[in-house]
Amino acid sequence: MDSVWTNNSEIKSFKPLKGDLKTGVLVVGGGITGILCGYFLQQAGVDYAIVEADTICGGITKNTTAKITSQHGLIYHKLVQEFGVETARMYLDINETALDKYRDLCKHVDCDFEDKDSYVYSTDRFYKLEQELNTLEKIGGHGTFAKDLPLPFKTEGAVRFSRQAQFNPLKFLAFIAENLNIYEHTKVLEFSGLTAVVHGGKITADHIIIATHYPMNNKHGAYFAKEYQDRSYVLALEYAALVNGMYVDEAQKGLSFRDYKDLLLLGGGSHRTGKKGGKWQELVEFSNKYYPEAVEKYRWATQDCMTLDGVPYIGLYGKNTKGFYVATGYNKWGMTSSMAAAMILTDLILEKDNPYARVFNPHRTVLRPQLMVNLAESTANLLTFSKKRCPHMGCALKWNPEEQSWDCPCHGSRFTKDGELIDNPATDDLN
């Protein structure tokens, strides 16, 4: 179940760390966020090292649908309601800056970069589109209404962002990572202040960035309460009608569409990890109905960290963890969010003022309805009898027959049928 990116890219290998290391900045995690952090630190002349427990881009990064856009669903109306006009404008600005940075970098990289319009459509809630368009006008956004869409079902239209982008993320990262200081197969076992213990040694740093998708340290930040993980699915279809743009449903359980060369990437079937959902079956049924001539070329699944308020957590890991940083909770919009995170964290380490840092402050209020849902889910699973328990925080694991894995409904850790760790926040295999 490799993604289309995995089968159309080649990334070099890096040696594991042998012995002890002292560095200015330790970046833990070799996905897109960690690699971009390393790239910007190197550009700034900062001593750094990236460590990856397995191989770089081998986790969530390889399973994205790779939409580079500042249009994160119909988020701006919600942001204005919850945080005000200025914060919503700043969220838009930093994501536009991230898009521009990709556009600039990709001028020098053969990574199938294409300018494409982005659309958020609705099948039955036109008022949602109106709300978003009115909000975008208030904050200086560039959304327009699109009526006739090349989708095989009726919609109420869409909010369109012009000149967004898409690319092959692994081709891009293969180029970016080529000359970075990376150690693969170097698993962090524990932290003691700003020292990380790894297999065969320890790494001492002045700063540490945790870029492991889901934060791995439970001692600070309460991320186990502030995030949950959502699983979603993709089919790459040949001989299906192409859409020449990037489309997502404003509804949480809706479908997404984008092209890659002659393939249509159809996404959906989402559900909280460890819970029931439509999965690939939903996509297969949709394809059979609307694209009967289509042939499935690839299928894969991904997992996203969802925050309490729809905004990522980027900044100090805990309120009092000087020199210890985190980037997590991209809410299914990892491309621009990872670029924004790398730029913000680099500035924080260089002690440069970054006005956008306050937007993503990990220690903003947790008084959101989703907090109670997360706590209720964790409590229910902790009280559920099961011989299979997650080593992260002891929740009952659920068997996932489609992917042949043990999944944690509390925080999203996943394990093979033999108990080997697939996805964090757990750091150990099952006993």
220 and 235 inside one domain = no
Mean pLDDT calculated for residue range 157-180:
98
**Confidence (pTM):** 0.95
57 and 121 inside one domain = no
The yes-or-no verdict on residue 1 having pLDDT over 80 is no
147 and 236 inside one domain = yes
47 and 146 inside one domain = no
* pLDDT given at position 295: 98
Phi and psi for 87 in degrees, rounded to 5? -65, -40
Most confident range, picked from 195-199, 409-413, 416-420, 426-430: 195-199
The yes-or-no verdict on residue 386 having pLDDT over 90 is no
User: Domain for residue 109, yes or no?
Assistant: no
The yes-or-no verdict on residue 388 having pLDDT over 80 is yes
158 and 10 inside one domain = no
Q: How far is CA 361 from CA 105, 253, 316, in A?
A: 27, 28, 8
247 and 276 inside one domain = yes
DSSP for 353-401, written as a single string: --GGGGGG-TTS---SHHHHHHHHHHHHHHTS--S-B-TTT-PBPEEET
Give dist(CA 431, CA 418) in Å, integer. Answer: 10
Range of the domain at 280: 114-165+227-307
* pLDDT given at position 384: 82
340 and 387 inside one domain = no
Mean pLDDT calculated for residue range 155-170:
98
Q: What percent of the chain has pLDDT over 70?
A: 100
**CATH code of residue 388:** 2.102.10.10
pLDDT band at residue 364 under the 50/70/90 scheme: very high
18 and 147 inside one domain = no
The yes-or-no verdict on residue 393 having pLDDT over 90 is no
178 and 154 inside one domain = no
**CATH code of residue 253:** 3.30.9.10
159 and 231 inside one domain = yes
* pLDDT given at position 77: 98
- Counting the structural domains of the chain, the total is 3
Mean pLDDT calculated for residue range 290-297:
98
SS3 288: helix
Dig out the tokens for 255 from the structure.
Answer: 């479908």
317-345 per-position pLDDT tens digit: 999 999 999 999 999 999 999 999 999 99
Beta strand 201-210 with 21-28 is: parallel
- Provide the mean pLDDT of the chain: 95
243 and 152 inside one domain = yes
Amino acid at 382: L
User: Domain for residue 221, yes or no?
Assistant: yes
* pLDDT given at position 216: 85
